[in-house]
A and B are shown apart, each in its own frame.
Chain A
């Protein structure tokens, strides 16, 4: 059972109470790739947390007090402090919690991971555009070509570094920040975009061996069920796959 296997809150729902001491809360949605980043970090660092899923097509009125535009993910701690933007939330967790550091200690290596993130910035938009095009019965050869080009850039980095992961020989923050979109390539129907990037394929295989990635892997059939309902504008999409 996934930690976030709870029904999404929508309009008319009661606002949740304050976050208890010793816990941090994440406002999330089970299929959102941005929130997925933050959930990976929570898991990787073993941080005790509670998940409140938000119905993104029918947002609770109170949710705008957590984020001015009602976006996810948002972290809320027991001091009522709110942190948003997925990358900012991930860095906050790495700074605020003890144990395994996901960002390197060395300032140059930290800067390198942030520069790598800049290289990635077109990928979320392109993967989403491909998904929408395919789901709406449009062809997307141009989009796939653009996505392949982005993957070539990432392939070059792995080739130049000669390491398995983007931060070196062990998994680190940058790998978790990239992962959610690669996990979705198959279910979006664009896994063939990796055909010409063998190092990137090796990376995805290595990622699937990571205990944190594994623990949060979304079942393909459940994801497809969500996508079907989502593209039919069904407000129950976000709860697909939850036990009744």
Chain B
């Protein structure tokens, strides 16, 4: 277990949105998103290696050269303030531009930010032309129609960001219920981008080779996991801006392997900030660096959270979670958390359990999502609500034990994942049994093969109970039933059994 609990925050949580100029500090080796970067090539020799562009601009005498006045990264997190600044100095340059050609009514699901995004794309392209980029053959201009259409989806509903699968520990493709609303938004905007015309055609793009991103990538962003999104962010400027600026991509944040081992409070906060206060679902699977304070900060900044899943986040305390839940659900204007996954957390008592159940039930009965139609749509598509806007009631799917799927899947509809174990009465994750003989006993509560793993040991591969049967204990101290251990025994037999396999055979009871 890591001993270093201290994570010096890179910046205070209550950062003023008007403050574009922020001290460039290192914290945990990570930069804070949204900090302006220096343009050009100088300033890279400082101790932290990040350059001191803004400090130079602030502290030194102001250069009259336009290159020094223009910021290299106008698209910091602070979109509105940045836009004002950009339009301000572009107007000073007597630049004649007109992006009034964008028609909002062409965009199905856009909001008031669409013209801003469209204008930003236009202004960015113009600003880029003033920089003397070293010739590298890269594209400078973005296909205006595509940028116009895709930038507008900032107001459309979103997808789920996460690892390939929303099931815990799984590496398969994403089970993106949260995407559906986003997909609707994508279609509306993309159709508009195909049909709408623009005054951007008047822009004289750079003479350099212009290659716009293939439109298919914009349509697929919704289905990418968190790590893939971060890869796409590095592909080109256009995609970087899209990934950072589209709040809908960040309404659901799912962190799983391998990022869960690296993500810290500050990094997570920065990622969730991209939702601009409209984060809906947060799923952190075995994110062992996340602390109570970090999670609390996110909840405070996002009153719209309705699903919180933190299984295996061992630095979180159950008292902290209960306190956060009370605080969050009692605030006015918050929908309240309706689904909580805390499997793998230690020290959950009956009292905690009762309190949590009460809080979740209470929040479900409260007015759901208000009049925010986009959130309602998103939650419905995320399978959290029925078509009538009420919490959906599903029949619970059996949950089988597996080393890769220890926790309930993200799309599980239960309000709380842990239960009282029928055998030991402790509050833990309960597993069903896939064995045929045990399936017949499902209806019988006393005899059903359904308990925590301490009461009923299970095979790590298939989830079968191994109480009374032959099993193998692997070098990793996992248990394998006789069906699953056969291939392993054969393999080890070929290598003269050097893997240190310990076999235990229990006499079969009649």
Q: Do the two shown chains form a genuine complex with each other?
A: no
